[in-house]
Structure formats: C-alpha cells, structure tokens
Structure 1
Amino acid sequence: MSLTSFVIASRDRSPEVVAVVERLLRETDCPVIVVDNGSRDDSVLALHRAGSIGPGRLRVIPLADNLGAVGRNVGVSAATTPFVAFCDDDSWWEPDATARAEELFAEYPTVGLLAARTVVLPSGRTDALSEMLAASPLGHDPSLPGPSILGFLACSSIARKEAFEAVGGFSSILHFRGEEGLLAIDLAAAGWDLCFCPELVAYHQPSSARPPNAVQDARSLRNDVLTTWLRRPPRECVRAATRLVRAATRDQAHARAMAEALRLLPSVARGRRRLPRDVEESLELLARS
C-alpha cells in the first residue's frame, strides 16, 4: 500500500474533479481524499459514484462552507499516510511520482516538502514557476535532492504530513491563491528543507471555470502583502502596503483586495511573528535576484 495520500480541495467543478479522481484511482494505488468546499453542484454525489473505480480508496469530506486552501488542511488531517500529494481539480500526477517521492523522503529526513516539475496542458510546456525553481538562487546543497526553494505550486507538491501539520498548514487568513508562500517560509523557519525535484512530474490543465484575470491578480497581490505583514520586517511591510495602495488606484478588483487586507489586519496582528535570520536572508536574496 502506498505511503502517500492524494489530497484535493474542490468547489463547484464536478466534471473536472471527478475526471481527476478517476484518473488517480486508475493509475495509482494511493488513497484519495477530496474535501468539497461547500459545492452548489452535484460534486459530492458524483464523487461517491466515482469511488467505485477503487473501492475503499476514496474519501469525500463535504464542508458546509468554502474554506479555500484550508480545505487541504482538513484533507491532510484525515490522511493516515506519512506523506500527502496535493492536487487541484484540474491537476494530477505522473503515476510513479509518489513512489519516487517516498524514496526521497526516506533518504533525506530533513526534507519537509518536494516541489515537482509542472507540465501545463494541452501545450506540454513546463510551467514558468517550475523553471524559476530549477534555477533557484538559493542553490543546490549536495546533501539535498534538489535546489533549495521558498515557494511552490500547491497542485504539484508533496509534503511530509508531520512537517505540514507542525506549522499549521495553509493559513485561514489568506483563504486562497498565493497561499503557498507563507507555508514555505514557515516550514523553513521550523527547520525543514524544501526542494525542487524535476524528476517528479505533475500535470496541470487549467480549468475554464476561473475568475477573471484581474480578480486573480488582485487576490495574489493581497495575499503577497498579507504574507509580508505576517512575517517580514517593518520596512518590507511598508513597501508591500505601498504596492497595494498603488494597485488599488488602477481598478476595482485591486481596490476590493485592499479593503479585504485592511479588514484582516486584526488577524494579521495576532498571527504576526518574525522569521529566523537565515530565512529572512534567503528571502532578501530571492528579492535581489
């Protein structure tokens, strides 16, 4: 039996999430956990039907509300395996990826997260972030399985459950989009290594049911700013706030994002803590690069 569970958080994408789950059940022997973020379509019923492909391997957890990325935390908590591979409802993994990741985790006990190479379909190109991670300015320590990183795509990452839960998983403050950055630096701050491993491959076929680009961009900027406010020094917090204010003058999506960030300030204040010096220095190196 596999030591890795697939964890998917989904909402209102019944045909897509069912197709991904059926593929995972056919092509791997891993347990699959789907957390439904309060879907208004037939996702939960359709997923229960899809489970017949791999009897006993699919668990569907319906939530009353949309928890965003925190839905993944619910899935990780339900996993009984030591490792979890994240998928979105429009992404999946090369069949042998989890077995190879398990070998790497066993060989490198300080590694808390492995980021895979993401292939974007239908073009077959490598995702731009994967190319950036491969050339990480943080370098490649020969005692680790790949370049050191402080960022990743959730849909193409495999985590050590122990490490993920020790730092609290994905933040409820960020909800969704760009939530990986905060988790990455929290893992590093807790002493875990994060590495990019191009031999691990995940596939992403972006859903057509996506918010407009302006909304996505605004949400990404909001969460980047919130992450900065939660962990970075005051000078970086001021710079981040300035970026958000300037963006808010451009369009309504960014104006709404700024209003949301301001409403979250009490939660940010309660959750704020400074990073260890080595992690802060790594972030500064990435910024300069």
Structure 2
Amino acid sequence: MTAAPHTPMGPDDRMAVVMITHNRRDEALLALSRLRDLPERPHVVVVDNGSDDGSAAAIRERFPEVELVASPVNLGAVGRNVGVDRVEAPFVAFCDDDTWWEPGALRKAADALAAHPRLSVVTGKILVEPGGREDPINAELLHSPVEGPDWMPGPTLGSFLAGASVVRRIAFTGVGGFSERLWLGGEEELLAADLATAGWELVHLPDVVVHHQASTQRDTVLRRRHGLRNALWFLWLRRPVRAALRRSRDVLATAPRDRITLLAVLDAVRGAGWVLRERRRLPENVERRFRALEESQRSSAARRYGR
C-alpha cells in the first residue's frame, strides 16, 4: 500500500540528514543553520572527519540538538556510513558542508521513496551558488539514457551524486554503504552499481532542489588523484574486461598528462591485487545501463579529471 504524503508544512519524521565535514568550521556552521530552518525538521547527524580547526567544539556549542560524531581521523565518504548507522528514519539525505537543501525538497524526495518501494536513491537538481545557475550535470541527469521500469517517477540513473541525493536506508546499508577502499572522490559509482545489482532503482527528480557553493577549502590535487583512481578501480572491479579497457582508455584521455595523473594510475595499479580478489562482474541487465552511459560520459564536460 502506498504511504500517504506528510502534511506540506509540518515536520517529517521519515527523513534524517547526514553531513560530513573536515576543517570547514564556518561553512559547516552555516550549513547547519540552514538545515535547522528546514520545515521538515530532520534529525541531523554530523560526522566531523578529524577536523583540527575547532569544528566539533563549535558544532557542539552552537547546535546542541545535532547528533555529533567526532572522528579522530578523516574517514572520507565512509563518514556517511557512520552517520547512517546512527539514524532510524527510513530515508537519509546526504549533505556536504558546502551544500544545502531547499525548503520542501526533502519532503518531495521522501514522498517519492514512500510511493515507490524499489526506489533506493533520489538525486535532485543542483543549483550553483552564488547566482543559482544550473550545474551542467543537471542536463545529463535529466536526459539520462538509462532505461528503467515504467513506474519510475523521473529519469532512471546509472549513478548519483552523494551531496545531492536522498537514499533509502535499508537499501544503502544492505549493500554495505560506501567503500572504505575508495575513501572519497567518485565513490558513488560503485555503490550505484551494487544497488542496481541488488534490484534497486535510482532516479533524478528535478523538483528536488539542492544548492551548492563550492568551498575554497579543498585539496584539489588529492581530489583529482582519488577521483581518477576510483574511476579506474570501479571499471576493473565491475565491468567486463573489454568494457573496462575501453572505458579506462576514455577516462585517461580526459586527464592531463601530468604528475597527478601518473600518481593516480600508480595508485590504481597498486590496488590490482585487491581488485582481483574483490572483482564481481555486473549482471547483464546492469551492465547494459553502464554501456548506455558511455557516450554521455565520453562527451561530458562535468566528468573530466583535469579540474
């Protein structure tokens, strides 16, 4: 039986929010103030990933209602796993410390998840701040070439963007959440493939809106190195050999021929033993989804590794 939507303006106990942060004290505090003002009044868990700038103490003082997990080390995306383990709500929105959900967006996502029991992820439309312009990735999400079942409430996706997504908790935990090995940077693709393999669907809903004002406090070198490494690892872990080789060539073609790319490739090769032990080829129905994405991935300006 389909669950009835909650009232348009009141709190929504179906929803929790998990935010990870690292050494972005002021941005984390601003993000939490915006979460506190949401009409859904979600339970919020913040995982502070080993910050040394006083983030944990400031959050504890300013937002006593927030559940804070102060990790002594930077867990990367696995911090989200830790946060999800702390909540009981059926649906969990991820929030980075430089993103925020528009009022009402979480309720719309929860309504979609409640209405469609095989739906595991809702990815929203991203507006880039300041200015509120559309992120280029929105067009790719809206025109996704992935074929899905007739009941889907929007375009079927092959992967998702964690900071702009709401997940079904039992689906997320059922496939193990984000990989410790991948840490952070393009970590979503492996999880998306494993969700699809388990029979779950992923959707883009453009009326679920999230804002993103990219932080200046980021290690762009490490981000690119890990993103490229993880893209290669995903291909080697899950795609058939020919597809993995073809897509590896495509991924490397978008990357500058520089030291960072070399280090990323070396990192990927050093993990070959782990990859071979953990390799599980996608079932054909899921592999078709990733084949359908290849052309858009090759031409995508939003997925290049030179940034």
TM-score tier, shorter chain, comes to over 0.9
Which runs of no fewer than 5 residues in structure 2 stay unpaired? 1-11, 297-307
Q: CA deviation at 1:239?
A: 3.4
Q: Which has the higher helix share?
A: 1
Give matches, 1:178-193, under 5 Å: 178-193=186-201
Q: List per-residue Cα deviations over 1:241-271 (Å, max 9, x = no partner).
A: 5567778882111111122112222222232
TM-score normalised by L of structure 2:
0.87
Give matches, 1:76-91, under 5 Å: 76-91=84-99
Residues 21 and 249 (structure 1 numbering): CA distance in 2 closer, same or farther, change over 3 Å? Answer: closer
The answer for the alignment partner of 1:19 in structure 2 is: 30
Distance in 2, matches of 1:165 and 1:30, equals 20
Distance in 2, matches of 1:120 and 1:126, equals 6
Which runs of no fewer than 5 residues in structure 1 stay unpaired? none
3-state DSSP class of the match of 2:166? strand
Aligned-residue identity in percent: 40
Whether 1:5 and 2:13 are equivalent positions in the alignment is no
Whether 1:34 and 2:41 are equivalent positions in the alignment is no
User: Would the aligned equivalents of 1:173 and 1:268 in 2 still touch at CA under 8 Å?
Assistant: no
Q: List per-residue Cα deviations over 1:150-189 (Å, max 9, x = no partner).
A: 1221111000000001111111121111111111111111
Distance in 1, matches of 2:148 and 2:284, equals 20
The answer for the alignment partner of 2:117 in structure 1 is: 109
Counterpart AA for 1:7:
V
The answer for the alignment partner of 2:180 in structure 1 is: 172
Give matches, 1:36-185, under 5 Å: 36-52=48-64, 55=65, 58-139=66-147, 141-185=149-193
Q: CA deviation at 1:199?
A: 1.0
Residues 247 and 199 (structure 1 numbering): CA distance in 2 closer, same or farther, change over 3 Å? Answer: closer
Distance in 2, matches of 1:126 and 1:8, equals 23
3-state DSSP class of the match of 1:27? coil
Pick one of 269, 273, 278 that aligns with 2:280: 273
User: 192-201 or 247-256, which moves further after superposition?
Assistant: 247-256
Residues 247 and 110 (structure 1 numbering): CA distance in 2 closer, same or farther, change over 3 Å? Answer: closer
Pick one of 235, 243, 266 that aligns with 1:236: 243
TM-score normalised by L of structure 1:
0.92
Distance in 1, matches of 2:279 and 2:167, equals 24
Q: List per-residue Cα deviations over 1:68-126 (Å, max 9, x = no partner).
A: 11111111111111110001010010121111212111111110110100111013111
Distance in 1, matches of 2:295 and 2:256, equals 27
